[in-house]
Amino acid sequence: MRISELARRTGLSAHTLRFYEKQGLVSHRSRSESGYRDYDETDLRRVEFVRAARNVGFSLEDIATLLSIRVDKNSHSCEEVAGITRRKLAEVEARLRELRSMKKTLGILLDSCCGGPESAVHCSIMEALEHGQLSGPMSEPAGPVHRRANASVRQA
């Protein structure tokens, strides 16, 4: 199959597939005479693996590692795989703590503010930001828990 069919079947864009190829995540068995990438079912399964891992929040770097394990499972242990997963979970949890703290503060701000068409001169949100006794910066900012920007919202 060619790239656009693979794109259709995986829900990724052809752009993204080529990008993943550049990153060494995805490849193709061969090329057609005219130079088109030619994918088979094995390639498809690999891309689906990438997609599944990405949906769980793994970075492309993590995914590269997972793929290298995948192609030679005998030489790798559950420990490795679980380690990567545990690390990602810790990142996600750290980010969750940050966001929960933000959510709480934002909620308090909103509750304190009338939100009406009155002048902002006495706005309690502005006041709170001025004399910021709003919960501090939460020790160490968490590591990267990567955002999927606008994946799969390809428009024509």
Partner DNA sequence: CTTGACCTTGGAGCCAAGTCAAAGGTTATA
Partner DNA sequence: TATAACCTTTGACTTGGCTCCAAGGTCAAG
Residue 18 binds to its own copies (criterion: CB under 8 A): no
Which of 32, 34, 139, 150 is close enough to bind its own copies by CB under 8 A? 150
Structure tokens given for 134: 């709003």
Among residues 7, 17, 47, 66, which is the contact residue for its own copies, using CB under 8 A?
66
The conformational region for residue 138 under phi > 0 = left, psi -120 to 50 = alpha, else beta, is left
What is the rounded (10 degree) CA torsion for 127, 129, 131, 137?
A: 160
> Using CB distances below 5 to 8 A depending on partner kind, what does residue 36 bind out of its own copies, DNA, none?
DNA
139 binds, among its own copies, DNA, none (CB under 5 to 8 A by kind): none
CB of 16 to DNA, least distance (A): 4
Q: Which of residues 20-59 bind DNA (CB under 7 A)?
A: 32-37, 54, 59
Q: What's the Cα-to-Cα distance from 11 to each of 25, 80, 92, 127, 132, rounded to whole Å?
A: 16, 29, 25, 47, 45
Residues near DNA (CB under 7 A): 2-5, 7, 13-16, 18-19, 32-37, 54, 59-61, 144, 146-155
